[in-house]
């Protein structure tokens, strides 16, 4: 998912740090700790590891991904490549299919609370929804207006195969659900009421949202 864009009302107040809008609620999550973040986002690592993001129309984005059967070291390498690609594209979330890997692995990185989730499953969403703008690294140059639940909970597993749960609200929930959709082969544009009426070009002076 792309970063928030300026037309959403970002200004001086929006620049104030947020309390994390994503948090682990149960179990031991695979966190992007300061060491991983420093390494995976360094200029040298990003230059060497980032790959192009697959764009809408690529078959890998439009079919359900498979549960991974990888070693811990292979999962770590995949997550590192995903994170570097997300950083290069200025995102706040990414799914493995977006780098051409048809596996159920996502990264959610909102407010610096980075989580890598294997085989994510949506456990709960709030009845209350909010219409908001949404962008995607795989739908470059456009953003859409759609409704998302304002709170959500996802269950997933860590590299040791242990289950954990994490929750989000606001942008956190939006990003979680956006990335969980990706591993089901669903893009946010598939959820729009009308691509003609609810999809808009990003203006040149606006910062892309992911």
In whole angstroms, give the CA distance from residue 146 to residue 148: 7
Domain assignment present for 1: no
The pLDDT score that the predictor gives to residue 121 is 98
179 belongs to the catalytic site:
yes
Residue 209 domain flag: no
Q: How many CB atoms lie within 10 A of CB 143?
A: 26
Residue 210 included in any domain:
no
Q: Is residue 157 part of a domain?
A: yes
Catalytic residue among 179, 184, 196, 203: 179
Residue 153 lies in a domain: yes
Give domain status of residue 206, yes or no: no
Residue-level pLDDT at 14: 45
d(C-alpha 7, C-alpha 205), whole Å: 10
Instruction: Specify the pLDDT at position 198.
Output: 75
Domain that holds residue 110: 6-201
Distance CA 57, CA 164 (A): 33
Q: Which one-letter DSSP state was computed for residue 190?
A: G
Q: Which of 167, 124, 123 is nearest to 29 (CA)?
A: 167
CATH of the domain at 180: 3.90.45.10
For the chain, 210 residues long, give each residue's pLDDT as a single digit of tens.
987 644 333 334 445 566 789 999 999 999 999 999 999 999 999 999 999 999 999 999 999 999 999 999 999 999 999 999 999 999 999 999 999 999 999 999 999 899 999 999 999 999 999 999 999 999 999 999 989 999 999 999 999 999 999 999 999 999 999 999 999 999 999 999 877 777 888 876 554 444
For residue 89, being part of any structural domain is answered with: yes
How many independent structural domains does the chain possess?
Answer: 1
11 occurs within a structural domain: yes
């Amino acid at each position: 998912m792309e970063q928030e864009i300026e037309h959403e009302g970002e200004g001086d107040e929006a620049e104030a740090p947020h309390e994390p809008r994503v948090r682990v609620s149960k179990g031991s999550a695979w966190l992007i700790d300061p060491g991983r973040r420093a390494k995976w986002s360094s200029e040298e690592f990003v230059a060497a590891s980032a790959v192009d993001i697959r764009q809408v129309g690529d078959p890998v984005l439009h079919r359900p991904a498979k549960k991974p059967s990888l070693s811990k070291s292979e999962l770590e390498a995949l997550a590192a490549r995903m994170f570097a690609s997300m950083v290069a594209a200025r995102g706040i979330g990414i799914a493995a299919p977006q780098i051409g890997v048809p596996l159920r692995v996502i990264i959610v990185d909102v407010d610096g609370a980075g989580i890598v989730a294997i085989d994510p499953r949506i456990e709960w969403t709030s009845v209350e929804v909010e219409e908001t703008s949404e962008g995607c690294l795989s739908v470059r140059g456009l953003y859409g207006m759609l409704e998302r639940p304002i709170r959500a909970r996802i269950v997933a597993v860590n590299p040791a195969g242990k289950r954990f749960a994490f929750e989000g609200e606001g942008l956190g929930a939006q990003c979680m659900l956006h990335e969980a959709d990706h591993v089901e082969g669903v893009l946010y544009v598939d959820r729009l009421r009308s691509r003609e009426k609810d999809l808009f070009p990003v203006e040149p002076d606006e910062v892309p949202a992911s």
